[in-house]
Amino acid sequence: MADRVLVTLDAEVRDAEAPLLYADDIGALRGDGIFETVLLRGGSACALELHLARLARSAAALELPAPDLDAWRFAVEVAADAWGGDREGVLRMICTRGRDGAHPSGPAGKGDLAGPQPDTTGYVLVTPVPERVAAARADGISVITLARGLSDQVADTAPWLLLGAKTLSYATNMAALRFAARMGADDAIFTSTEHRVLEGPRSSVVIQRGKTLITPPARSGVLPGITQRALFAEAERAGWDCRYESFFTADLITADSIWLLSSVTLAARVNRLDGLRYSLPESAAEIPALVDRGIAREWSVTDW
């Protein structure tokens, strides 16, 4: 069983052990591109339509051409078929600004990486689910809070910060995870300069109190979460009260439970936050099942 499946946006299956990207791809040179990470389960890409809608939103934030969603859908289908349905997989959709100066005669082709590049690079890559995922789903994770250094008020007024876009420029997110690991933690929660909760480096934060779920609103500069949204949709059906509201680090301490939601790990309960232990309350026990149902729903791209 191959541990890599690679499909380019023309729906061609490629040898993942052969190089794909040119040395001058602006995605590689500048992290200038966008991506989505999708769980493959039972041969299907979970909540694919929501991921496609978010990909389009990220493209707009970066002033990339609008993605050809039909082409992406088809490439994902080809990749999912090649991966098979007997094990989960991590499917990534990667779209970069393309090669530097791809059109030397055009207005963009001045060798200037900041200019528009008409030919984006797009591909779908499937890899195995990381080992950490099973443990995170079953036992939860330990987390530390880290300052992002930004106010939760800047997203609207400083569009160049690309808050809420899922860009390939994740070096600081990766550094935050390494920092957390050095502190003995599995993951991190970023906080704003106002000590409000933002998000994890690769997840949304949801707190639970009784039958209420709360997550920070997108206007605070967080990436809108697809797994969080799937949870909210199912939870509302099941009678929960689901809210988009800002809350403080202190609210984490007094919550009944805290969850990091992400497309591959799904629902990871925080079992330790900055050294404080949390047990799983009975009232939160159904959350993972709600997430499982939510991501398996038939979503449409207009649900975004």
Site residues (CB under 8 A) for a copy of itself, limited to 16-35: 16-25, 27-33, 35
Element (H, E) at 142: strand 141-147
Interface with a copy of itself by CB under 8 A: which range of 12-20, 212-220, 254-262, 284-292? 12-20
How far apart, in whole angstroms, are the C-alpha atoms of residue 85 and residue 99? 34
Is residue 237 close enough to count as binding a copy of itself by CB under 8 A? no
Q: Is 13 in the site for a copy of itself (CB under 8 A)?
A: no
Structure tokens of 139?
């036992």
Output the smallest distance, CB 241 to a copy of itself, in A: 32
Query: Using the rule CB under 8 A, is 280 a contact of a copy of itself?
Result: no
- How far is the first Cα of the chain from the last one, in angstroms, to the nearest whole number? 35
62 binds a copy of itself (CB under 8 A): yes
- Which is closer to a copy of itself, CB of 121 or CB of 208? 121
- Alpha-carbon torsion, ordered 179, 183, 185, 191, to 10 deg: -60
Work out how close the CB of 299 gets to a copy of itself at its nearest, in angstroms, rounded to a whole number. 25
Q: Binding to a copy of itself (CB under 8 A): which residues in 123-162?
A: 123, 125, 127-132, 146-151, 154, 157-162
**In the block, which residue shows the tokens 């690309």?**
162
Nearer residue to a copy of itself within complex by CB, 135 or 253: 135
Kindly give the pairing relationship between strand 241-244 and strand 212-215: parallel
By CB under 8 A, tell whether 36 contacts a copy of itself.
Answer: no
SS3 185: coil
Contact 194, 200 (CB under 8 A): no
- Rg of the chain (C-alpha set): 19
Q: Can residue 57 be called a binding residue for a copy of itself (CB under 8 A)?
A: no
